[in-house]
Chain A
Amino acid sequence: MTESFLSFQSPFGSDQPAQNNSSSDNKIERLVGEVIETSLTSYTAQAYKLDEPPPFGGLVRVKDRAGTCEIYGAVYHSATGGLDPGRRAAARGNSQAPAHDEQVYTDNPQLSKLLRTEFGVLVLGCHKPGQAAERFSYIFPDYPPPLHYSVNLCPDSALVAFTQEKSYLRTVLEAAQVPGEELIAAILRRAALARGVEGRAFLVDSLRYLGRNLKQDYDRFRIIVEKCEGA
């Protein structure tokens, strides 16, 4: 799974063969983890499978306690470490190069029980009861996502619908302690790829929206544009 994340391709390089693995994988919703730390603006979740968090910039969804409001957010961070925050992982190999990196996990099966993968999610909007299926509110939910509720990675169709309106970009721009430029570029790249041939127009539209909000900060805007294009 990590491979599919890393092999993300730019939708614009026409000379490169398009690798649609990632998008074909994202046709259906997938359970990826569980909320372990929560707040109204962002939450942390633990991935059910070690080293298999949702991709950076991926759109994830949690239901609120009433079960009617769906809270949408983007993955802005993921990390793997020991279950016990006091214990750091120690090297397992020796000076001999292993035949395969994965070998260390088969040799030490207890590792998967001692390590865990966490990911952070920035809340971007919600889908309230009574709203049409393709419509979203780009505001914070009334309540934060409850602890231990399950986190689902949204399919491309939901990503396309969610990014149709552009105001979520403002939330990302203003969020503290989030790699804003990288996150925006990652969301836009994924959303553009999910759109196929219309990706370029979407990207230009979104960047224009961003530009209007970044009129006074051309340098930051330029960084985002470069990150979007040079994927």
Chain B
Amino acid sequence: MLDKKLQRKPEKFLGVVTAGSLAKGLQARIRTLTPLEKIQTGQFIAVEGDGIRFFGLLTDVTLGATSDSVLLDPPYPDDGGSALLREVLHGIYTYGDAQIQPSLSLQTGDDQPKPVRSVPGHFAPVFIAEEDDFERVFGSDNIAENGGQSFAVGQPLDMEIDVCLNLERFVERSNGIFGKSGTGKSVLTRLILSGLIRANTCSNLVFDMHNEYGGSTRGEYANQNIKGLRDLFGSRVMVYAVRDRKPGAKGRHEQRASSADGDIVIGMNHIDVEDILLLRSELQLNATAAESAYILQNEYKDRWMATLLSLESEEIKEFCERTGANRQSIDALKRKLVASIQRLPFVEEHLGNLQVVDQMVDALASGRHVVVQFGNADDMLSYMLVANIISRRIHRKYRDLTDKYKRTQNAGDEPRRVMITIEEAHKFLTPEVAGQTIFGTIAREMRKYYVTLLVVDQRPSSIDSEVMSQIGTRIVALINDERDIDAVFTGVSGSSGLKTILASLDSRQQALLLGHASPMPVVIRTRPFDEAFYRSITTGLPTTPPPIIRTAPANGNGSDDGRESFDEWAEKEWDEQVKKDEADLFG
């Protein structure tokens, strides 16, 4: 016992355990001489029991006093002799109690910490954790050095040591990145995606509503330029854009928000009633109107929408009489579809197949990564419609692939894991629609089919609690709203202490990491997304990306449409820019 104490630095000694329980956490009297101000919540704590070392998080510090008379007649700063009095009172009459939430225990002689099932005895010494403890719990591998599956996502608040996330465990479940607007969700997401791409753990499909992940974007500060995934990983990352001009519209090429490997176009025949149901609140459709679409679909199969839009008033009347559908609902549905869906630049009346989308899915299955950009079409409606249709495609494909793999049990047939990143996830996963949308299904059960979600959201309380409870790893930046905080901790045991920590995070570059891929909850300063990161993430990358097996014409446009490839296009753009600059400079 004594030598164990001696192994630790005396300045890390915090106090001794005095009370507590496994459910409510431990209480430790803070050592007399440690200034209370220096003890921050969220710190990683080690408790040395007899034979077991416990790891936990400091969740709260409370002030206490042994006698009421001290508090009734406190030493005031303007009293002459109060400096000495205050100094000697601290730790004797007044004291601090630390609340510790234990999460892991390490038996002497064991290598791996296990979830905690006991509490340390009275007066077990409590220490602020040292680097060795972090390495034991979080592993010391840095992906940049050895290409392993643990990825440094940041550093603890008061130490220069990497906290690593186990990426293999990370992709086993659906995950969430939460935080108020402006707390660095996008940077965190980009960080995690970079790690996943670098380690080649799974294929990533990113629905990039605000064009943040593909190409480089401006940071919030002046002169800050954040590299996109395409810049970092080259052709391993394919960028697709939702078509934002109807064919024939003027200036289409020039006004594009960013360059892409292919345009996504969707035929009305690929829009399901399910998609319309998901958009109910966006389209302001009532339930009956949405349900009427089912009648239409029964009648006209996949051409139901195009047919509805072409029906004259008389024909609608006749249709309603024939099928018993409600006339007003059908009219309302038609009105809304004309106003909202038909005008969308990426919607065609009929497409034989979803070639570009299918190629995307193939690219994912063969190990590439895809960013879907929405360009000018970044309204919620387009975003939800496209994301839902593509994800349904993936869902179907992966069901087939998994079934095949189950049949053959051939290792070569094992599907490549895909993680779908969605922003504004609460729109897809509200309790009203989560039961119907494809994302609800994926979150609940697609883990078995090699598809998981990375949910990026600022309003977790709007996400269906059934979905939230299935989320494996949560990375949470600052959240203030009570309901959101409660939602984030759905399905997490011992969360009361973590709530205090969460509310006290900095609004920038700090996050609480908890769940499946992190052995225990921990507060981190997130790794900066800067030049040093670019270097470490790109050094030693294999030069050739995995080939796309079945499809992909050489120009990378997704279809053999005779347009130049992305690289050719970029080169041309560059040459034009150089010529223009020269002309400006030298006349």
Contacts and interface: CB of A to CB of B under 8 A. Distances in A.
A219 interface: yes
Given A216-B67, A218-B67, A226 B92 contact: no
B81 A215 contact: no
Majority DSSP secondary structure for residues of A touching B: helix
Contacts of A219: 69, 73
A74 B320 CA distance: 111
A211 interface: yes
Given A215-B66, A218-B70, A219-B69, A229 B81 contact: yes
Contacts of B84: 203-204, 207, 225, 228-229
Interface string B287-299: 0000000000000
A49 B93 CA distance: 45
Interface in B172-230: none
B93 A215 contact: yes
B67 A222 contact: no
B93 A218 contact: yes
A204 B80 CA distance: 17
A211 B81 contact: no
Contacts of B69: 218-219
Interface in B81-96: 81, 83-85, 87-89, 91-93
Interface string A200-228: 00011001100110011011011001101
A40 to B, nearest CB: 32
A222 B80 contact: no
Contacts of A218: 67, 69-70, 73, 93
B81 A226 contact: yes
Interface string B56-71: 0000000000110110
A85 interface: no
A230 interface: yes
B67 A215 contact: yes
Interface residues of A, number: 17
B307 interface: no
Given A215-B67, A218-B67, A208 B91 contact: yes
Contacts of B85: 222, 225-226, 229
B465 interface: no
B578 to A, nearest CB: 72
B258 interface: no
Contacts of B80: 229-230
A216 B88 CA distance: 15
B88 A207 contact: yes
A204 B93 contact: no
Contacts of B83: 229
B32 interface: yes
A45 B110 CA distance: 68
B87 A212 contact: no
Contacts of A212: 92
Contacts of A208: 32, 88, 91-92
Given A204-B87, A222-B85, A230-B81, A211 B93 contact: yes
B15 to A, nearest CB: 15
A14 to B, nearest CB: 13
Interface in A134-154: none
Nearest to A218: B69
20 contacts: A204-B87, A208-B88, A208-B92, A211-B88, A211-B89, A211-B92, A215-B67, A215-B93, A216-B67, A218-B70, A219-B73, A222-B73, A222-B85, A225-B81, A225-B88, A226-B81, A228-B84, A229-B80, A229-B84, A229-B85
Given A208-B92, A212-B92, 14 more contacts: A203-B84, A207-B88, A208-B32, A211-B89, A211-B92, A216-B67, A218-B93, A222-B73, A225-B84, A225-B85, A225-B88, A228-B84, A229-B85, A230-B80
